[in-house]
Structures are given as C-alpha cells and as structure tokens.
Structure 1
Amino acid sequence: MSVGDYIRNSQIWRSVFRHPAPTDRRNRVVVMLTNFFLHLHPVSVKQQGIALSYTWCMGGITFFLFLLETITGVLLMFYYRPTIEYAYNDMKYLQFDVPFGMIMRNMHRWAAHAMIIAVWLHMFRVFMTGSYK
C-alpha cells in the first residue's frame, strides 16, 4: 500500500473529505454541507454579495494583518525573552538599540489592534447581511 493510499484510507482523511468530487449541483451542496472547510467557500454566492463595496475586503485585510503579525512576531522573538529578569531590559534594548526595533514593535502592536477591528467588522457584516445562511 502506497503512502497516498494509506492517507486516503485513514480516518482523518475520511472525516475531512467525506464525499468524492461533485458532478452536479445537488452533490456539490451535499459535499459543501458536510465538508470540514465549509466556511472557506460557500455553495453559491449572489453576485452583489461579493462586490468590493459590499465586502470591504475584510477577509483579505484580516489575512494580511495576520501575516504582518506573524512576520513581526518572529522577528521580535529574536530580541525578546519573556522572563522576569530579561523582559524589561529586552524591551529597552529593542526600543533604543535595535535598528528599526521601535517600528517593528509598533507595527506588531498596531497590526494586532487593527486585526481585532477588522475581524469584528467582518463578523458584523456577515451577521447583518445574513451571509452565514
């Protein structure tokens, strides 16, 4: 048995992908309603529902802010040690001695705040427009 067959016959694979690729609209609905990744792509979308002025790109903005958080967080990990002995001195070192350290820290902080706002606005729009139905 190959590795691919072993993975496709595993319980995890079957719980995530419960049906084969759909061939018609009815099967597509069944696949989407039982799929683990349902929230990523709806079964059908109205044309006006995906207009740029209607969605405000909140999902894309949130994803961009998540990437910014990840990149700046990884870079900040090189200079910060979260212990009682080192935390304060590491922050002072990051602010005053590391090139662009203050900018990197502020980008990380403001991206976190902006991501919370973007997620809230995204969920508010989804709720108010009934897009979850």
Structure 2
Amino acid sequence: MKIKNLIVIAALMMMFGVVKAQTNVEWTPILVSMDGTNTFKGVEAYYSLSNCGGTDVVLIKLKNTNDKAVKAQWVNAIVSNDEKEHYGKTKLVSVNLKATSESVGTCNTKATELIVKLSDYGVTLKEFKTIVGSSFYVE
C-alpha cells in the first residue's frame, strides 16, 4: 500500500512540474515606438512564438501601465530573416485595455486580435525574425 501511495505522490509531483513548466512563457519586446522601444503612451507590447493546434503563431501580450483604460491600435507586420516586412491581409487591429491590466494571447483565447498566424503572412517559423507593431497608437 505504501508503494502505491509513493507512486501516486511521485506522479502528482511530476504532473505539477510539467504544468508549471508549460505556463512559463518567454516574452520578447515588440518594437512599437519611434524611439526603438516596446512602449508607447504607457502600453508595453511583447510577443512569444507558439504552436496552436499544429499552426505556428505569434502570441501578443499588451500591458497597460496607465491608471486609465486605453485603446491600443496597430497593424501587424512580420519581419522575415531577409529583413522584408510582411503585412498579410490584416487591417488595423485594436484592443481595449483596462487600467493597469494585461491582455495576453493564448491558444485558448477567443479574441484573435492577440494571435497572429504566420501562414497568413506567407512566413514560416524558420523564416520568422520578429514582429513589429506598425502604426502603433494608443488613445
């Protein structure tokens, strides 16, 4: 009986470790400002590469450091290794952010504004260099 309990405890510990490891996402700053930073008018922008259901995607995270709600707007531009910008067919993207809050794209997110499919831009994961928020604006 003690062996079964030890096995169950070990299995639970391993599962907890795996879940914890999967939630540790590395976020990279997105160039959104003319001064070369990832911050514009109190909104910080980040991205992380992921795979959602077999599709390579860029997940976007926006952090509003303002003490008021704002609306962030931009056009996604994927930059490939050959330094070309790919705009795809997307138009202006906008996200409303509550005061001092974050909005994060995940594979389970219903809001697709924070999920960018690389295939929509004609770029593969191997060709991907970065993403920029072209015409990024906060109101």
TM-score (norm 2): 0.25
Larger Rg: 1
